[in-house]
């Protein structure tokens, strides 16, 4: 589980919120699959609407340019972000995201290795609504400032607690990583962070950085899956 602070700017958040306020919403259960449909109670921007698709693609472009997200996820494919809204008493019970997802409007599918929630309003705008992720260390509750995001394995059981007042607005997406193994992907992320820290240190020699870059990229070359 990795928190990205922030993923998009306050200006971007304001833009997306303003656009979303003018767009149609539908019952979120319409898009739930399998057992998830029985525990899903929220609203979702209508992905068949042209303006919603445009907004989703605008956010998708920003995701593909964020260096921390790229380092953490090593994405091969990213599902167009979905915008959701939780009003008072709405929640999404424990569920696991579908393993295989078809990208809307295409015949292309992706394997969901990584899930991501981008928070689009601040915690003081609503009560409840925490994202709860079940991990080997117990339940982790996440409620971040607007523009911040959390990425976590799609294989994790997770839920959104009931909103008790106000409204919770967020965007969610899923990624197929070039590195399917979660532990290896985490190791590569830590390695890349160390490399970036050493780059910032003027005392680090170019030869040392070249050796580390060689190790990092050869590991990706060895273990990446692009099918």
Query: Which residue numbers belong to the known binding site?
Result: 95, 97, 158, 168
Question: What's phi and psi for 114, nearest 5 deg?
Answer: -130, 135
Asked if 41 and 28 count as a contact pair (C-beta separation under 8 A), the reply is yes
User: Which residues belong to the annotated binding site for Fe cation?
Assistant: 95, 97, 158
Tokens representing 28?
């979120």
Q: Which of 180, 175, 179, 184 is nearest to 115 (CA)?
A: 175
CA dist., res. 85 & res. 186, Å (int):
30
User: In which residue are the tokens 């569920």 written?
Assistant: 95
Specify the 3-state DSSP secondary structure of 5.
Answer: coil
Q: Is 10 exposed, middle or buried (0-12, 13-18, 19+ CB in 10 A)?
A: exposed
Show binding-site residues for 2-oxoglutarate.
168
Q: Is 220 left (phi over 0), alpha (psi -120 to 50) or beta?
A: alpha
For residue 189, CA distances in Å to 2, 67, 141, 186 come to 10, 11, 22, 5
Q: Decide: 157 and 138 in contact? Cβ < 8 Å.
A: no
| Cα distances (angstroms) measured from residue 32 to each of 51, 69, 101, 178 | 22, 26, 12, 26
> 1 with 152: CB under 8 angstroms?
yes
């Amino acid at each position: 589980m990795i928190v990205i602070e922030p993923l998009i700017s306050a200006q971007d958040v304001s833009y997306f919120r303003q656009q979303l306020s003018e767009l149609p919403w539908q019952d979120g259960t319409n898009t739930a699959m399998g057992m998830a449909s029985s525990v899903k109670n929220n609203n979702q921007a209508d992905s068949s609407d042209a303006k919603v698709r445009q907004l989703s693609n605008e956010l998708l472009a920003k995701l593909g340019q964020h260096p921390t997200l790229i380092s953490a996820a090593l994405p091969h494919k990213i599902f167009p972000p979905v915008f959701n809204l939780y009003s008072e008493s709405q929640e999404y019970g424990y569920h696991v995201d579908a393993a295989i997802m078809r990208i809307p409007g295409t015949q292309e599918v992706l394997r969901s290795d990584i899930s991501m929630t981008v928070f689009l309003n601040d915690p003081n705008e609503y009560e409840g609504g925490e994202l709860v992720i079940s991990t080997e260390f117990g339940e982790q509750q996440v409620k971040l400032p607007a523009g911040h995001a959390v990425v976590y394995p799609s294989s994790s059981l997770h839920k959104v607690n009931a909103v008790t007042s106000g409204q919770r607005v967020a965007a969610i997406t899923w990624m197929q990583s070039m590195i399917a193994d979660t532990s290896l992907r985490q190791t590569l992320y830590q390695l890349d962070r160390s490399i970036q820290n050493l780059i910032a240190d003027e005392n680090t020699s170019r030869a040392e950085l070249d050796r580390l870059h060689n190790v990092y990229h050869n590991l990706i070359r060895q273990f990446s899956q692009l099918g």
